Structure 1
Amino acid sequence: MRERVIPGRSSGLISLGAADILWSALTGEGAVPTTSVAFTGSCTHARAGYVLLGARVVATVQASAGRGSVPEAEVRRAAAELNAVEMDRRDLVRIGPFGSALQQEQQGETLLRWRQRIGWELRQPDGLGWPVRDEESGRPLHLAGVAWRRILVEQLHGDWAKTWWLPRSVVRLLDAADHAERKWLHAARQPSEPVTAPLSPHHQNQSAASREKASQDGPTAPLRPYKEELRGQTYSVLGRKPGISAKVAGWICAVCHTAPAAVLDHCHEHGYVRAPVCHSCNTLERPDHLYSNDLRVASRCTRLFDTDAAHWLLHWHRCSGCRARTTLPLPHLAAWTAHTACRPLRPTHRAPRGSRSRKPCGMLRVSWTGSQNAPRSCLLTVAVDFCPSGEHRVLARVPYREAAEQFRNWLAQVAPAVAAAAGPDRLDGLPAQSRPVIADSSGEGPALF
């Protein structure tokens, strides 16, 4: 007989089956799709003493008959947190395939390993690889209560190459779940209590109580804000230091200030570390390269150079080289030139259904010849692909020096505080010799260093 959940009741313990019913009822209208077997599915780790619901860890309590139960109040809190997540299905982050990066995921520290699980499942033929359904119950597997297959976007490149994408808000949510699980496991595994040793019923109750308290109180070591501790250091040197990955994981993302940091964002032109950031912010600021000197000016540039421009400019100018030259790395400067300086040149067309508003046509693209190290010969070419008036319509050809000067003027208007801290007279701590250009290895995926 199915157990009923009393509406509005928020105290006491409920069985895992009842928790499934409550979870489905509370999250059914949310933006992020959820599964109906968040507690009874085999990938919930309920037998290990907890269940991941979004970014919250809910401890389970084992009764004498072997049945598990969870605090109803914690289920409701997790549902409220997940319902508060807003999801834009057009703002996507690539999650695979990333080749060798799958083997570097979290070093097996967590059971979630959501990138590895999705990668293994989607890379294998049907019926092979990571199971789509639990072999015992036949129920579909999920990640932290999220039905990720319902929002997964698959893009085909050519005849065989595929890439997979998830909404940025969901990527941040799963990254936060991975971080919460790692912290919870670290707090639950006390040195005096071996993890593999069987516990008596009395100690099992004590252990469950401690796990429940850890779930409610949160991680024992909260994330610390980034306070420019790595300013002026180079990625090539810092990335080889032992223990740097664990140190990065202890910071909160220096851009969004919501998710745990996972990688060190750095300037590929000068080699200086900017700040520790999460995977989502790292992909948001990364130029969308078509070729090494050709990039697509995607919709993300609206956020980078319009709505959140001052915030991103402050982040980019954490690089001592960019700050001294009062400019951006060449790909970023090229994207700014196409998106901002050449905006009036882009052709428009009428919106459908008789609307009076006009929309930009085609796809904006910018390429360059030469290098920022030879500014006299460097030239930026801004074009529109698939324009009705021409398949590839060139809008402008802008010399590098002219683009840099336009950027300096715009920077002084948009972010005067950033402009005041930049310039050729602000050479604090800048080495006399230029640093070598750091190869961009980010194409292999979200690997640490």
Structure 2
Amino acid sequence: MSERVMPGRAGGLITLGAADALWVDVTADSAVPTASGAFTCSPAHARAGYVLLGAHMVTTVRTSGGQWGVPEGQVRRAAAELNAVRMDRQDLVRIGPFRRAPRQECYEESPLRWRRGITGELQELGGPERAARREDGRLYHLAGIDWRQILVEQTRDGTQRTWWLPRAVVRLLDAAEHAETQWVHAARTRQASTAVTEPPSHPRQAPDADSRPTTNPEDPTAELRPYNKELEGQLYSVLSKKPGTSRRVAGWACAVCRTAPATVLDHCHEHGYVRAPVCQSCNTQERPDHLYSNDIRVANRYTRLFHTDTDHWLRHWHRCPGCRARTTLPLPHLAAWTAHTACRSLRPTHRDPRGSRGRKPCGTLRVSWTGSHNAPRSCLLTVAVDFCPSGEHRVLAQVPYREAVERFRVWLAETAPAVAAAAGPDRLDGLPAQIRPVIADTNGEGQALF
């Protein structure tokens, strides 16, 4: 260990300044960039009794001399946990701004609230460039992570700015927010219990250097229960109005990745059924990129959804009884599958401009549709390529809805036979004859995302 982190060491504790130096030193090779001042700069606050480092809770202790310190072993464990995170800088999740701020329904007790903090900071300062020049330390880091180094700004139509972070970091910050919520809740419970059992004059003792929070800092999901179809067949419109639903959702691990705490109920907007509780990261991965109510871009993540993790995602979509009984996908997902998979051979290619001998798919895929899945005879999917040098908005194919459904059924039986075997009208007797109306998405930008 570097000599600069040794001063202040006493009984396994190191000073906050030494902890700052240690944190930067042991995370120097981390894929996730870390920040100096993780213990001494806002939003870290030693008097709260803990400091967040990634998803790890580090206990702060006040020594007999009045100084604040932290256990060195906890700092090193937090660093090892962060160093193990693998980050793909191309796999991005949008974090704002949205027309309506995303609800913070599950983590209201968490002071971190990192989405709200980042969005507010960038809107106040006018973008990441001015945020990077700010010197007062406010929101310099989040859980010891220097978010400014990995924030991506994108512009739509030359006017609207959007901000994105790598998916691995989004999951890490979501886990940190969940761990902090559990800590705050446990601390309030202890205080209430102490107020009843102890005389008012009883002095509060400093926590032991090796004490641990109620939520295991080694594994933020240790106390989360796996989702076991408890909400299968229930309607989102009913569950979303029940008191305590958000707190119940926060007790599950994400049903897709199974590593992060769930934050929202993913649901089918065509049939109205709940699929499963998922984390924000998986929810954005599952959600189609709508341009308009009947027009979507086919994002790069569909390579993962329809190739790498096909079986798992198909099982998730078929948690909706309506989609499972009809052996299909919601219309936007079916449109994306048709463009990305069924029409893949029709997409033009060109030489890679970087000089390699291979060829690169041209432009950006877009699918629009006329009509509705409620009237399949009139529904037509149009697959086009935008921004293609050989002709912008080039139409590749027009596929009737029923033909797209039949193609999907054949592909499903070949690609995921176990999922296909569990689908079909004979698998569910209680499916309503009348299809449920589309339910407005309260987490999006005002568009009804299916």
TM-score, structure 2 normalization: 0.90
Aligned-partner Cα distance in 2 for 1:170–1:217: 17
- Structure 2 residue aligned with 1:4: 4
Aligned-partner Cα distance in 2 for 1:341–1:104: 38
- Structure 1 residue aligned with 2:257: 256
Aligned-partner Cα distance in 1 for 2:411–2:154: 36
Please identify, of 97-106 and 416-425, the stretch whose mean Cα deviation from structure 2 is larger. 97-106
Cα deviation for residue 47 of structure 1 reads 1.3
Aligned-partner Cα distance in 2 for 1:123–1:298: 26
Deviations 1:197-216 (A, max 9, x none): 99989623247765567665
Deviations 1:283-318 (A, max 9, x none): 001001111111111101001101101100000000
Cα deviation for residue 122 of structure 1 reads 1.1
Aligned-partner Cα distance in 1 for 2:253–2:104: 21
SS of the aligned residue for 1:381 comes to strand
- Structure 2 residue aligned with 1:419: 420
The code of the aligned residue for 1:183 comes to Q
Q: Give unmatched runs, 5+ long, in structure 1.
A: none
Aligned-partner Cα distance in 1 for 2:279–2:407: 31
1:81-96 correspondence to structure 2 within 5 Å = 81-96=81-96
Aligned-partner Cα distance in 2 for 1:428–1:91: 40
Cα deviation for residue 356 of structure 1 reads 2.4
- Structure 1 residue aligned with 2:305: 304
Cα deviation for residue 431 of structure 1 reads 2.5
Aligned-partner Cα distance in 1 for 2:320–2:422: 12
- Structure 1 residue aligned with 2:121: 121
- Structure 1 residue aligned with 2:54: 54
In structure 2, relative to structure 1, the CA distance for the partners of 1:174 and 1:140 (3 Å cut) is closer
Aligned-partner Cα distance in 2 for 1:150–1:253: 28
Asked if 2 retains the 8 angstrom alpha-carbon contact of 1:34 and 1:146, the reply is yes
SS of the aligned residue for 2:247 comes to helix
SS of the aligned residue for 1:192 comes to helix
Deviations 1:418-439 (A, max 9, x none): 1001012122432343322212
- Structure 1 residue aligned with 2:339: 338
Asked if 2 retains the 8 angstrom alpha-carbon contact of 1:121 and 1:131, the reply is no
Deviations 1:90-114 (A, max 9, x none): 1111111124435745564111111
1:273-422 correspondence to structure 2 within 5 Å = 273-422=274-423
1:186 corresponds to 2:185: yes
Aligned-partner Cα distance in 1 for 2:60–2:246: 31
Aligned-partner Cα distance in 2 for 1:78–1:163: 31
In structure 2, relative to structure 1, the CA distance for the partners of 1:119 and 1:393 (3 Å cut) is same
The code of the aligned residue for 2:309 comes to D
Deviations 1:120-144 (A, max 9, x none): 11111469x9998685xx5762100
Deviations 1:321-367 (A, max 9, x none): 00011000000000000000000001111223542211101111111
In structure 2, relative to structure 1, the CA distance for the partners of 1:111 and 1:84 (3 Å cut) is same
In structure 2, relative to structure 1, the CA distance for the partners of 1:199 and 1:307 (3 Å cut) is farther
- Structure 2 residue aligned with 1:165: 164
Aligned-partner Cα distance in 2 for 1:194–1:150: 45
Q: Give unmatched runs, 5+ long, in structure 2.
A: none
Aligned-partner Cα distance in 2 for 1:21–1:10: 16
TM-score, structure 1 normalization: 0.90
In structure 2, relative to structure 1, the CA distance for the partners of 1:134 and 1:63 (3 Å cut) is farther
1:43 corresponds to 2:43: yes
SS of the aligned residue for 2:392 comes to strand
Cα deviation for residue 14 of structure 1 reads 1.0
- Structure 2 residue aligned with 1:75: 75
Aligned-partner Cα distance in 1 for 2:102–2:317: 28
Aligned-partner Cα distance in 2 for 1:199–1:348: 76
Aligned-partner Cα distance in 2 for 1:94–1:354: 31
The code of the aligned residue for 2:55 comes to A
SS of the aligned residue for 2:43 comes to helix
Asked if 2 retains the 8 angstrom alpha-carbon contact of 1:236 and 1:438, the reply is yes
Please identify, of 379-388 and 272-281, the stretch whose mean Cα deviation from structure 2 is larger. 379-388
Deviations 1:179-228 (A, max 9, x none): 00111122223122359x99989623247765567665767981000000
In structure 2, relative to structure 1, the CA distance for the partners of 1:200 and 1:117 (3 Å cut) is farther
Please identify, of 311-320 and 89-98, the stretch whose mean Cα deviation from structure 2 is larger. 89-98
Cα deviation for residue 117 of structure 1 reads 0.9
In structure 2, relative to structure 1, the CA distance for the partners of 1:22 and 1:417 (3 Å cut) is same
In structure 2, relative to structure 1, the CA distance for the partners of 1:246 and 1:307 (3 Å cut) is same
In structure 2, relative to structure 1, the CA distance for the partners of 1:208 and 1:242 (3 Å cut) is farther
Length, aligned pairs only: 439
Deviations 1:32-69 (A, max 9, x none): 11001111113112111100000010101101222111
Asked if 2 retains the 8 angstrom alpha-carbon contact of 1:51 and 1:57, the reply is yes
Deviations 1:244-281 (A, max 9, x none): 00000000000000000000000001101000000000
Identity percentage of aligned residues: 71
Cα deviation for residue 441 of structure 1 reads 3.3
